[in-house]
Amino acid sequence: MYQLYSNPRSPYSKRVHIYLLFRNLPYETIPVALEKLENRKKPFIQINPYGKVPVLHDEGFYLAESSAIIRYLEEKHSFDPPFFSKEIQSRALLNQAINRCESEFCFPGSVLYFAKKFVPEEKWDKNRMKDSMKRIGRHLDILEGILESNNYLHQNQFGFLEILYAPFLNQIELMEIKLPPQVEKWNKRVLSEESVVSALND
Ligand SMILES: N[C@@H](CCC(=O)N[C@@H](CS)C(=O)NCC(=O)O)C(=O)O
């Protein structure tokens, strides 16, 4: 059975929980207490020298990075329909969207979330936060354009992208970001998907 090293407050870990539930793959959770810095000590640091969760364990094989884990599992199993189509340009467009999700939404989102949740306001790096807001705003406008004629971001079905976005969409209120109307509807669709509800409420 798969083992997932994870932390209940980690949005990157949540992505893999959502995926495993969505694909009905049995797994066991191994909690890593980030608050006790367990991730910076042995044995975890030997598993992932970057000291970050999630990490998947599959019979002696260890893999970190949420997106790489989901891709590995998706390639290992043959699901129908697969997230990655056999058509090369469709796959390339999905990869493009994955990279944009990470760099233009989740990363700047983490900057805002971390500051607002853990740093006193007088210590905020306001320029960095303003830049993050701007990048997220531009990204959401681009998503709005796609969602004007689609219910989901890729091939018009709940998939890899929604799994990557979901834990971050769930934190949108704390980031004080206003979603454009079609993105708001998509947000509701994504956050009401069964696997998302189960993983985020766990
Ligand atoms: N790019 C990584 C990011 C993982 C990540 O940043 N994990 C955070 C928790 S959400 C972590 O383990 N932080 C602990 C630390 O950096 O000390 C992924 O997609 O898995």
Residue 169 has pLDDT above 90, yes or no: yes
Two structure tokens written together for 171: 């934190």
pLDDT for the residue numbered 173: 86
Rounded distance from Cα 197 to ligand 1 centre (Å): 21
Query: Residue 82 corresponds to which amino acid?
Result: P
Residue 168 near ligand 1, beta carbon < 6 Å: no
pLDDT for the residue numbered 114: 87
Residues 16 and 195 sit within 8 Å (Cβ to Cβ): no
C-alpha–C-alpha distance, residues 72 and 56, integer Å: 10
In 37-94, which ranges are E strands?
Answer: 55-58, 61-64
Which tens digits make up the pLDDT trace of 20-47?
A: 999 999 999 999 999 999 999 999 999 9
pLDDT for the residue numbered 32: 98
Two structure tokens written together for 99: 């990279």
Look at ligand 1, atom 15, and give the residue with the nearest C-alpha. 52
Which tens digits make up the pLDDT trace of 60-94?
A: 999 999 999 999 999 999 999 999 999 999 999 99
Q: What percent of the chain has pLDDT over 70?
A: 100
Mean pLDDT of 2-13: 96
Pocket test for ligand 1, best of 17, 36, 53, 106 (most atoms within 8 A of CB): 53
Residue 187 near ligand 1, beta carbon < 6 Å: no
Non-local CB neighbours of 112 within 8 Å, separated by 6+ positions: 129, 132, 133, 136, 175, 176, 177
Pocket test for ligand 1, best of 35, 52, 117 (most atoms within 8 A of CB): 52
Residue-range domains of the chain with CATH: 2-77 (3.40.30.10), 88-196 (1.20.1050.10)
Rounded distance from Cα 150 to ligand 1 centre (Å): 31
Q: Which residues pair with 180 in a beta bridge?
A: none
pLDDT for the residue numbered 81: 92
pLDDT for the residue numbered 198: 97
Look at ligand 1, atom 16, and give the residue with the nearest C-alpha. 52
End-to-end CA distance of the chain: 20
C-alpha–C-alpha distance, residues 71 and 160, integer Å: 9
Q: How confident is the model at residue 133 (pLDDT cuts 50, 70, 90)?
A: very high
Q: How confident is the model at residue 202 (pLDDT cuts 50, 70, 90)?
A: confident
176 vs 25, residue with greater confidence: 25
Look at ligand 1, atom 1, and give the residue with the nearest C-alpha. 65
Two structure tokens written together for 125: 């790096």
Two structure tokens written together for 33: 């207490």
Mean pLDDT of 169-194: 93
Report the atom number in ligand 1 closest to the C-alpha of 40. Answer: 17
C-alpha–C-alpha distance, residues 145 and 165, integer Å: 17
Q: How confident is the model at residue 168 (pLDDT cuts 50, 70, 90)?
A: very high
- Residue owning tokens 């020298």: 49
Look at ligand 1, atom 6, and give the residue with the nearest C-alpha. 52
Q: What's the whole-number average pLDDT of the chain?
A: 96
Report the atom number in ligand 1 closest to the C-alpha of 65. Answer: 20
Rounded distance from Cα 8 to ligand 1 centre (Å): 12
